[in-house]
């Protein structure tokens, strides 16, 4: 797995968690690109998008180089194993205005290390399941079926499969996955 970490999370802890999430849903993690970005401060939400492709343009992986005008240095393609995904992680540090808010004081805003790490694991395993579907070429007959009205997002067959696999992976994580979850949650708690 090639991790492009644009967050304040440490690379080794995040990479071990993402690899264990991929193994939990039986995906091949060797040549898959993962782009980790950080969300807005104070909003503990995690989401991701998986994309099916065989190659990714190198300058698309590092947008800062494109903005600085060093595009010529970033030409070329990076090979993937049928896809890549982008995951937006919750901001690990709470700003003072969030700590002063009433919802934080009343406990309605869950921002402890374990809940953040479990949400990252759940979203990552969901996106890894989509990568597994791309690797198994599950989508090849999707466009040749009888044309009918497009279903809602959560009612599509591949989404139901990914949701079920992510829930199964989160219900019974293996020892290495539990260790990766605990290590990242301890880092979040120490660095708040």
Is pLDDT at 23 greater than 80 in this prediction?
yes
Mean pLDDT is lowest, of 42-51, 62-71, 181-190, for 62-71
Question: DSSP secondary structure string, 11-64?
Answer: HHHHHHHHHHHHHHTT---TT-EEEEEE--TT----EEEEE--SEEEHHHH-HH
Is pLDDT at 28 greater than 70 in this prediction?
yes
Residue range 103-145, pLDDT digits in tens: 666 665 666 788 888 889 999 999 999 999 888 887 655 544 5
pTM (predicted TM-score): 0.82
């Amino acid at each position: 797995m090639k991790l492009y970490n644009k967050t304040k999370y440490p690379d080794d802890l995040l990479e071990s968690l993402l690899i264990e999430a991929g193994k939990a849903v039986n995906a091949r993690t060797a040549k898959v690109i993962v782009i980790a970005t950080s969300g807005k401060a104070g909003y503990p939400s995690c989401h991701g998008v998986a994309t099916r492709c065989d190659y990714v343009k190198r300058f698309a992986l590092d947008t800062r180089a494109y903005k600085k005008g060093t595009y010529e240095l970033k030409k070329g393609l990076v090979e993937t194993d049928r896809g890549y995904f982008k995951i937006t992680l919750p901001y690990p540090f709470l700003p003072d205005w969030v700590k002063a808010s009433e919802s934080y004081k009343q406990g309605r805003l869950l921002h402890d290390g374990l809940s953040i790490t479990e949400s990252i694991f759940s979203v990552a395993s969901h996106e890894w399941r989509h990568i597994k579907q791309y690797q198994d070429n599950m989508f090849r007959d999707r466009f040749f079926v009888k044309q009918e009205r497009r279903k809602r997002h959560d009612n599509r067959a591949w989404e139901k499969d990914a949701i079920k696999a992510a829930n199964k992976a989160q219900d019974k994580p293996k020892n290495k996955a539990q260790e990766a979850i605990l290590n990242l949650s301890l880092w979040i708690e120490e660095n708040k």
